[in-house]
Amino acid sequence: MVDALRETRRVLAANGTLLDLRPLSVRCDIEVVTPVHEVPIGEVDATGYMADDLAADRAARQAVEAGWFVPRRETVFDFEFYWDTVAEMKSFMEQSERMGDVRPSYADLDKAFRELSAAAAGGGRLRCRRPTMLAACRRA
């Protein structure tokens, strides 16, 4: 990774900007969102890439210590995923490399989703908000 940062520095112009955008490795709530409610009903384990994230953090630190880049700012925002059904969410999770086990079971999530959606006149959607960080550095 640090070699990729060295190569990136090479192709950046003087005072160019490096942007490192990555989802954080955390457990994220699964919520039902209706016109009147935002109710957590479960969670998804999004820590599967923790080792890669730590390695990326190390590489970024090394690149700064080597004097290639100067940190400018770091922000965290929510990257939102929405699904219309639990089946749709399940299909996404099963194909996702970064999001893994869901709790409680999909059957229990489906039951909770249907109950909350039925109680809301406008129906509901499923949402997962994943904290995502953006670090900006200036090419030194």
Partner 1 sequence: MIITGELDPSGAEPQALLEAADFNDARVLEIGCGKGRLSFRYAKESRAVLGVDPEAKDLASALAARPRHLAERLTFVRAAALELPFRDGSFDIAIFAWSL
Residue owning tokens 């406008």: 122
41 with 109: CB under 8 angstroms? yes
Q: Binding segment for partner 1 among 32-40, 70-78, 101-109, 115-123 (CB under 8 A)?
A: 70-78
19 with 134: CB under 8 angstroms? yes
* The token pair that represents 4 in the structure block: 């990729």
Which CB atom, from 21 or from 118, has the smaller least distance to partner 1? Answer: 21
- Binds partner 1 (CB under 8 A): choice among 28, 30, 32, 56: 56
77 binds partner 1, rule: CB under 8 A = yes
**CA quadruple 66, 69, 72, 73: dihedral positive or negative?**
negative
The residues of the shown chain that bind partner 1, judged by CB under 8 A, are: 1, 3-5, 7-8, 10-14, 16-23, 56, 59-60, 72-73, 75, 77-84, 88-89, 91-92, 95, 132, 134, 136
